[in-house]
Structure 1
Amino acid sequence: MEITATEQLATLGHPQRLSVFRMLMRRFPDTVPAGELASGLGIKPNTLSNYLNALRHAGLVRQDRSGTSLLYSIEMKNVQHMLDYLLNDCCRGRPEICLPSDKTSDRPAGRKYNVLFLCVGNSARSIFAESILRTLADERFTAYSAGTHPSSGLSPIAVKVLKDKGHDVSTLRSKHMSEFAAPDAPEMDFVFTVCNQAANEDCPAWDGQPISGHWGVVDPVKATGTKAEKSLAFQNAYGALRRRIEAFAALPVESLDRIALQSAVDDIARTPDEDTL
């Protein structure tokens, strides 16, 4: 049975079904366990199941099984068809009035791009990402990091990893993301979440409509075991982020339009986390 765009839009007309859809969009291309969705949104599991079934019936969400766990993700092809309907039918194919303006075309040649990395504590993963991008491509990007609920300071193990790898840590500090939503804050071109919890939260709508991406990495701060095992967790997180940021820094950002950039960012999110540098 073919599902129409009007049926899909009607399904999204329910506020809580829309909240489930929005969280899965923020986590795309990840698959998310049902329990994490319920916890992140504060929805009872049986109620969430009804919402997910409605979204699946509308073709907006897919379900996969891993062992005994049910995982959910966006059915992006169908979502794009729905958006095409809005653009071509409702907007009569006039992207200049229906789509966000493509800020990439307005950027002066040679301008540096502002990139913000977000996690919860801003003590390890986002600090890693900020430092790596600054080291790899400081001539093209200005890197920042922040936390949705920042800790009181940086992880000492994270700082040691960065020092051992030759990064300058003198300017690093833990800070709240509200610093970058202030009127005088720099306008971001890219915003990346590097942990699932930050991606699950409803972050502010950033000025300038930046390209966004979710590059979730396991939190090394929560690692348990011996000192060597904890150190390995930080090395793994650093290595996973470095591979993603190397791929990002290699993109010809200046020559790509918004759609191509978003697609490239989503592809980078699929980079495996295995092995360390």
Structure 2
Amino acid sequence: MEKIAPVRLSVLGHPQRLAVFRLLMRRFPDRIPATELAQALNVKPNTLSNYVSALMQVGLLTQERIGTSLRYGIDMQSARETFDYLLLDCCRGRPELCAPTSNFDLNNKASKKYNVLFLCTGNSARSIFAEAILRQEAGDRFNAYSAGTTPRAGLNPFALEVLQQKGHDISVLRAKNVSEFQAESAPQFDFVFTVCNQAANEDCPAWAGQPVSAHWGMPDPVKAEGTDAQKSLAFQQTYGALRNRIRVFASLPLGSLDRISLQSTLDDIGQLENGVSA
């Protein structure tokens, strides 16, 4: 480890290779197609190939071929070994020196409710669904919020129709920019979930208090084509999948889970097919 760790750190010292690594860390445990990586980072495919090749050579990434598509993911064991090297060697095993400062503690919250933020790009359907569902399912234990990185002017009419059919109060819902929740007066979040790949791929500032985060990517029903009935079905399916995931989340014994176990569980929820076990 003493030989490979400095090499890995040298590879990560290149800004664009570091950007690839950080994006894949945000999307872990997903494996991301090369085309999506190149688009998200705004680099040419051959340039991306050079970046991922360097990261793979030092063991930080893994590659998988699905059909004609190459997909990349973090080798978490290698990443942890590298982080441990920094902590144990450079910090002499003193986490108070090197660990990020955070007062996050699910077991000692001053308030009785957890603050949860759902993010997507437009904040017109998926994240709005999640906000409304969590408020309805467990509003006694969670304060639910949603926002978009580039919010649309209004909520999608098909989304509003589904929410009304399910008995939600749509008068409290509106499209919001994520900047609203990055101001000093904004609530401090315990959980931040991205529900679309594009939002997860964006390099957003770190959240105050270091909330637990996870990616629960869902297909965008706004892009559904066909008749109105076919489009409505896509929104119904997205709503159902999110409701299933949120019900699992809301049932977790949060006070008895350590952060590592909780993170693993939230990642697993994001891998559920259509919101339920495959």
TM-score (norm: length of structure 2): 0.94
Q: Decide which moves more: 86-95 or 23-32.
A: 86-95
- Alignment of 1:17 with 2:17, yes or no, is yes
* Partner SS for 1:251: coil
2:6 is matched with 6
Alignment gaps of 5+ in structure 2: none
- Alignment of 1:94 with 2:94, yes or no, is yes
CA contact (8 A) 2:245 2:275 kept: no
Q: Decide which moves more: 90-99 or 140-149.
A: 90-99
CA contact (8 A) 1:118 1:194 kept: yes
2:155 is matched with 154
1:171 is matched with 172
CA contact (8 A) 2:106 2:254 kept: no
CA contact (8 A) 1:104 1:257 kept: no
Q: Could you tell me how far 1:132 is from its partner in structure 2?
A: 0.8
Distance 1:64 1:42 in 2: 22
- Alignment of 1:237 with 2:238, yes or no, is yes
Q: Could you tell me how far 1:25 is from its partner in structure 2?
A: 1.0
1:142 is matched with 143
CA contact (8 A) 1:3 1:58 kept: no
Q: Could you tell me how far 1:108 is from its partner in structure 2?
A: 2.9
1:125 is matched with 126
Query: In the TM superposition, what whole-angstrom CA distance separates every residue of 1:45-83 from its partner, at most 9, and x where no partner exists?
Result: 111100000111111111111110111111112111211
Q: Could you tell me how far 1:18 is from its partner in structure 2?
A: 0.2
Alignment gaps of 5+ in structure 1: none
Distance 1:184 1:121 in 2: 23
Distance 1:90 1:244 in 2: 40
CA contact (8 A) 1:56 1:62 kept: yes
1:196 is matched with 197
1:43 is matched with 43
2:256 is matched with 255
1:66 is matched with 66
Q: Decide which moves more: 31-40 or 259-268.
A: 259-268
CA contact (8 A) 2:218 2:238 kept: yes
Query: In the TM superposition, what whole-angstrom CA distance separates every residue of 1:75-115 from its partner, at most 9, and x where no partner exists?
Result: 11211121122222222222222223361167336621110
Distance 1:46 1:193 in 2: 29
Distance 2:255 2:97 in 1: 24
1:34 is matched with 34
CA contact (8 A) 2:269 2:275 kept: no
Give the partner amino acid of 1:111: K
Distance 1:125 1:212 in 2: 17
Q: Could you tell me how far 1:2 is from its partner in structure 2?
A: 10
Task: Summarize the Cα distance change of 1:206–1:2 in structure 2 as closer, same or farther, 3 Å threshold.
Answer: closer
CA contact (8 A) 1:132 1:242 kept: yes
Query: In the TM superposition, what whole-angstrom CA distance separates every residue of 1:174-227 from its partner, at most 9, and x where no partner exists?
Result: 010000001111111111110011111111211111111110000000100122
CA contact (8 A) 1:115 1:191 kept: yes
Q: Decide which moves more: 79-88 or 155-164.
A: 79-88
CA contact (8 A) 1:187 1:207 kept: yes
Distance 1:127 1:51 in 2: 36
Task: Summarize the Cα distance change of 1:214–1:3 in structure 2 as closer, same or farther, 3 Å threshold.
Answer: farther
Give the partner amino acid of 1:191: V
Distance 1:273 1:97 in 2: 42
Q: Could you tell me how far 1:254 is from its partner in structure 2?
A: 1.8
* Partner SS for 2:186: coil
Distance 1:177 1:197 in 2: 14
Distance 2:195 2:3 in 1: 34
Task: Summarize the Cα distance change of 1:215–1:64 in structure 2 as closer, same or farther, 3 Å threshold.
Answer: same
Give the partner amino acid of 2:65: R
1:270 is matched with 271
Aligned length: 275
CA contact (8 A) 1:236 1:274 kept: no
Give the partner amino acid of 2:169: D
